[in-house]
Chains A and B, each alone.
Chain A
Amino acid sequence: MSAVAGTSRLTGFALRVDRRRSLAWALSCGGFVVVVGIAFNRLYPTAKSRAALAPLANSAVLRAILGPLYDASTTGGLIAWRMGSIISIILGLATTFLVVARTRGEEQRGRGALLAAAPVGRGAATLSGLLDAAAMDAAAAAVVAVALLALAQRPLDSVLFALSIGLCAWCFGSIAALIAQVAATSKAANGIAAGVIALAFLVRAVGELVSSPWVSWIAWLSPIAWVERLRAFDALDPATLLLSLVVGVVGGAVAVRIASGREHGRGLLVERTAVSRRLGRGPLGLAWRLEHVAITVTMVAGFAYAVLAGSIVGLFDSFVKSSPVFEHEIERLGGTHVLKDAFTTTMAIYGGVAMAAWAVSLVLRLHSEETRGRVTVLAAAGAPRRAIIDGYCATALFAGVVGTVAWGLGLGVGRLVVDRTPGALAKGIEAGLVCVPAVIAVIAVAVLAVGATRRAGVLAWGAVVWCAMVSVLGPFLGLPHWVVDLSPFTHVPPLPLAGTFWVRGLLVLAAAAAMWSLGRASFVRRELGGA
């Protein structure tokens, strides 16, 4: 057991360091459930209105995005349908980043060496990271359970559903711990682990869409599907809880095992040999040199993911034809192409929010460089402040815009591959392009935050979370119009584009430009922070 000696002390310490962050995540998850639950009760007060929701919810598009709706008659059933996958993904990402930070993140920073030189086993940091994450997920599950108990009637379903979310997130954390042993850096580990969660989402979407048993079984590979297939508030199947638990424990055990035989600070995959390249001029050249690999990888991964998402559209026709009643309903709504366009717009906005979030993280690089005193190095070397902020923000702008366009292109290619109708490609590209002003606006908020304040993270991430909430949950929250309008993604015009759709885009761009230049001007004037 010497490989994990000292785990309890490390765990106690990790819990203490992360307590605020963990508590914030737990409360957000619970709060999310409460808000959505109340919204459901208001929007669908009667049994009749709920019954009408069921066929729509179980249509191909919504099933693929949100998962199946088993029982629309209870608030619990509605929450389980609407929140299961979303909270699992959000909490899964939070868990992933926590586990990677506590394992490879510490190793990459000098303080990991202090821990490694203490009388603790080599696997102790990984195990304590997993326990720290388990505590966060358990707290989140507890808060969600309390929220559900208040809103829904069935205590057992409430508790098991909350538990399934916590277990799913922890399972992703355990996979992240495994990836952290292999990846060359903690940044790479975070990227790959987030990609695994995206893949899990996609796998279950395909599994939901394709009725052929030859394909639909693949949904069982996704931990997100295990949350849905618990069938909370319908016909409970607690065996799915065991799936997350077993995969989480086995993955965690393997990760600890690898960690106890691995050198400190080195993944199993060694960082590729550094090659000196000629840097571009000034801070822009530096920012590009630091980020171009991540930008290229994200671009390619985003494109590939969008192709898969776009190709799902091609399955709509066969799905609709499988049910005459459904076919009739869809025809009445205007045919499958309406459904396809709606799906494309939704997917484009999801991609836009994701790309905006990623671009914001690039803008915040400037913030972390400032706190580490590296901006002072640039300033002392004679780089004008203006060039410093421009360098980082232009890189982020480039990444966000090109990433969103690549995403749209991917959607178009995906549609074209299976649909083969003229204009399918253009639809995807259009959907991506109209998201660009919104993406730029979110980046501009981050520029303003970084430029004007020295505590930029909260404001910038707040904007991202806001957009994600509004665009994913949208009308369900029942928020006043002017609040919803604050998210630039609200102003993305739906397909097919018609009329003066570009006017709003230009307005969003104008607002973005104003925030951007304000942030830039403030950065030139204010004091620099740093170590």
Chain B
Amino acid sequence: MGVIEVSGLTKRFGSVVALEGLDLSVAPGEVHGFLGPNGAGKTTTIRILLGMARADGGAARVLGLDPWEDATALHRRLAFVPGEVDLWGALTGQETLEFLGGLRGGIDEQNQSGLIERFELDTSRRVSTYSKGNRQKVALVAALASGAELFLFDEPTDGLDPLMVEVFRKELVVLRGRGATVLLSSHVLSEVEEVCDRVTILREGRTVEAGTIESLRHLARITVHAETVRPIEGLGELEGLSSVTSAGTSLRCDVEAAHLDGLVGALHHAGVVVLECHPPSLESIFLSRYTTEQAPGSP
């Protein structure tokens, strides 16, 4: 039984359809990437998982609980960081952390001070003097210090500088190490690629891909750069090639994973001097899902 089990989730706001049959499954102890362009329904899904919004249809269970009916019990076991953190300007960072920790009924002080140090947060200042990144850090520290079983992050690194993004990434590894489950919504694909075990990609309120990054790689094209002794013959007959630039003995192209073997054969005939193959990045997987008219849900 997954920590998050969502199937066929639908939600509309008036005439606007936000979710249209979304599926999401997150196993215990995994760091799960939740990807999609702006407006795909990531935040709406997370709000339903938090019991802040009510689904119109479909089923959602979080930690075995109904997120709407058992919201309070559920919140004791999870921590949440929104993408845009707004705080009480009159309070200092320290006061804010105390309050947010107190709402959970106390947190691990030592863990928290370590986090404050690692995120280089000056908690003695008033929150009204904080930049967006600093406000984000407050919410991150409060959540990470909570010792929750499940962490919901909605684009949490928005506004953080690259150094702090790296700190956050390390914290995710720590969370995974102690067996916590993480749902990380993001559009920073490199971040997700590096830390996530599995990803779910959504588009217009529907799940279009789900699986490990490895299993998704075969869906996208491999970028090939080759230099050969002789001109490559029969390039025109090869299947699965695209974005071809060839000039005699030099070739750059993208090839579908299923047709890589054919291309390598042709290159071998021409005598390989240089051969570079770049496996598809998550970014290219992602882009291929949004720029081509592929039917959603194919493996």
Contacts and interface: CB of A to CB of B under 8 A. Distances in A.
Given A263-B52, A273-B15, A114 B71 contact: no
The 4 A-B pairs with the shortest beta carbon distances in the complex, nearest first, are A110-B86, A264-B52, A117-B80, A118-B103
Interface stretch (A36-44, A119-127, A240-248): A119-127
Contacts of B5: none
B219 interface: no
A220 B134 CA distance: 53
Contact of A116 (B50, B78, B100): B50
A118 B102 CA distance: 10
Contacts of B91: 17
A21 B104 CA distance: 27
Range for the number of chain B residues in contact with chain A = 35 or more
B14 interface: yes
A115 B13 CA distance: 23
Interface stretch (A5-13, A171-179, A385-393): A5-13
B90 interface: yes
Contact of B139 (A6, A114, A119): A114
B61 interface: no
A111 interface: yes
A109 interface: yes
Contacts of B88: 17, 111
A503 to B, nearest CB: 47
B84 interface: yes
Contacts of A493: none
Given A117-B75, A121-B72, A264-B52, A110 B85 contact: yes
Contacts of B51: 122
Contacts of B100: 114, 118
B52 A113 contact: yes
B82 A264 contact: no
A270 interface: yes
A270 B139 CA distance: 29
A113 B72 CA distance: 14
A112 to B, nearest CB: 8
B238 interface: no
Contacts of B71: 121-122
6 contacts: A2-B72, A110-B84, A111-B88, A114-B139, A263-B52, A263-B54
A494 interface: no
A19 to B, nearest CB: 10
Contacts of B230: none
A122 to B, nearest CB: 7
B290 interface: no
A457 interface: no
Nearest to A124: B72
A273 B85 contact: no
B84 A117 contact: no
A110 B132 CA distance: 12
A116 B74 CA distance: 12
Contacts of B79: 117
Contacts of A10: 103
Contacts of A121: 71-72
Contacts of B50: 116-117
Contacts of A109: 86
B99 A13 contact: yes
B73 A118 contact: no
Given A113-B80, A116-B50, A264-B47, 8 more contacts: A2-B73, A5-B72, A114-B82, A114-B142, A117-B152, A119-B73, A119-B105, A266-B53
Nearest to B69: A2
A119 B76 contact: yes
Interface in A151-205: none
A121 B53 CA distance: 14
Contacts of A282: none
B2 to A, nearest CB: 20
A265 interface: yes
Given A2-B72, A17-B91, A114-B139, A119 B103 contact: yes
Nearest to B152: A117
B52 A17 contact: no
B244 to A, nearest CB: 43
A115 B103 contact: yes
B103 A273 contact: no
Nearest to A263: B53
A111 B14 contact: no
Interface string A118-139: 1111100000000000000000
Interface string B81-117: 0101111101100000001101111000000000000
Nearest to A264: B52
Given A119-B103, A273-B15, A114 B72 contact: no
B87 A111 contact: yes
Interface string B26-50: 0000000000000000000001001
Nearest to B80: A117
A273 B72 contact: no
Interface string A454-474: 000000000000000000000
Contacts of A114: 80, 82, 85, 87, 100, 139, 142
A264 B54 CA distance: 9
A266 B85 CA distance: 19
Most chain A beta-carbon neighbours within 10 Å: one of B50, B51, B103: B103
Contact of A118 (B82, B84, B104, B132): B104
B52 A118 contact: no
Question: Among the interface residues A6, A111, A113, A270, which one has the most CB atoms of the partner chain B within 10 A?
Answer: A113
A113 B14 CA distance: 21
A121 to B, nearest CB: 5
A5 B90 CA distance: 25
B55 to A, nearest CB: 10
Nearest to A17: B88
A264 B87 contact: no
A266 B152 CA distance: 22
Given A110-B82, A119-B76, A273-B14, A6 B52 contact: no
A264 B71 CA distance: 12
A273 B105 CA distance: 40
B73 A17 contact: no
Given A114-B100, A264-B47, A265-B52, A119 B72 contact: yes
Contacts of B73: 2, 119
A394 to B, nearest CB: 30
Nearest to A10: B103
A113 B81 CA distance: 9
Contact of A120 (B53, B72, B80): B72
A109 B75 CA distance: 20
A264 B51 CA distance: 9
Nearest to B70: A2
A13 B97 CA distance: 12
A264 B103 contact: no
